[in-house]
Amino acid sequence: MKPIGPLMWEHRLIEKMLRCFEGETRKIAEQKKVDPLFVDTAVDFIRTYADRTHHGKEEDILFRDLAKKPLTPEQTRIMDELVEEHKYARKTMGMLVDAKERYLKGEDTSQEVVALLRELAHFYPIHIEKEDKHFFYPCMEYFTKKEQDRMLQEFYEFDRKMIHEKYGKIVNQIEAQSIR
Ligand SMILES: [Fe+2]
Ligand SMILES: [Fe+2]
């Protein structure tokens, strides 16, 4: 299997989650009420799965190795754009967390939450399509079979560490709060 295989499966799960955003935003817009639990779950999914686990493999492994290859100027431009889009997604998530926290303090940020969830649901599929249809396949041409196998192993090792990293972080946060 090519290393882009797991990345493309991950894209399918991200798309599925984004479709759930649509139903939720309709509910929030109508009721002018935010379900903080939904927002927390959405933030956790995007941060842990889409950003840390998925963008992590793209940036820390695939893009790192691609940067050593003689990419065309167009491919270099797309790769830079993809990295910028990852940054934009992180910033939008930060704004969503902020809007949810202000909501919990009593401010009516329901329309802000709707706009941010809609922005993510609109932006991500375009990013994914760029990778799936215009970037991943031609990029694989730069790697030998051996290099692709090595990359796939590195992906698996990266994924293996994620669950430990996530819960390690959670325990450290709880520990820091209980000391305060
Ligand atoms: Fe990406
Ligand atoms: Fe991706």
- In terms of Cα–Cα distance, which of 151, 145, 155 is closest to 10? 155
Q: Judge contact between 10 and 51, C-beta under 8 A.
A: no
Q: Please give the biggest Cα pair distance in the chain.
A: 57
Structure token digits, residue 153 = 């192993």
Give the pLDDT score at 125. Answer: 97
Residues counted in the chain: 180
Contacts of residue 64, defined as CB under 8 A and 6 or more positions apart, other chains included, come to none
CA of 159 to the centre of ligand 1 (A): 16
Q: For domain 4-179, give the CATH superfamily.
A: nmb1532 protein domain like (1.20.120.520)
Give the pLDDT score at 179. Answer: 81
- In terms of Cα–Cα distance, which of 33, 41, 40 is closest to 110? 33
Please count the other Cβ atoms lying within 10 Å of the Cβ belonging to residue 104.
12
Residue 63 CA: which ligand is closest?
A: 1
Residue 12 CA: which ligand is closest?
A: 2
Residue ranges covered by each domain of the chain = 4-179
Using CA atoms, how far apart are residues 49 and 10, in angstroms rounded to an integer? Answer: 9
Q: What phi and psi values does residue 33 have, to the nearest 5 degrees?
A: -130, 135
Residue ranges in the chain assigned as alpha helix (H): 4-31, 36-44, 56-57, 64-66, 73-104, 110-134, 136-140, 145-179
- In terms of Cα–Cα distance, which of 70, 52, 38 is closest to 10? 52
CA of 45 to the centre of ligand 2 (A): 14
Question: Per-residue confidence of the chain (180 residues) as pLDDT tens digits?
Answer: 999 999 999 999 999 999 999 999 999 999 999 999 999 999 999 999 999 999 999 999 999 999 999 999 999 999 999 999 999 999 999 999 999 999 999 999 999 999 999 999 999 999 999 999 999 999 999 999 999 999 999 999 999 999 999 999 999 999 999 987
pTM: 0.93
Residue 4 CA: which ligand is closest?
A: 2
Core vs surface per residue 57-66: b (16+ CB within 10 A) or e: bbeebbbebb
Give the pLDDT score at 50. Answer: 97
Using CA atoms, how far apart are residues 49 and 45, in angstroms rounded to an integer? Answer: 5
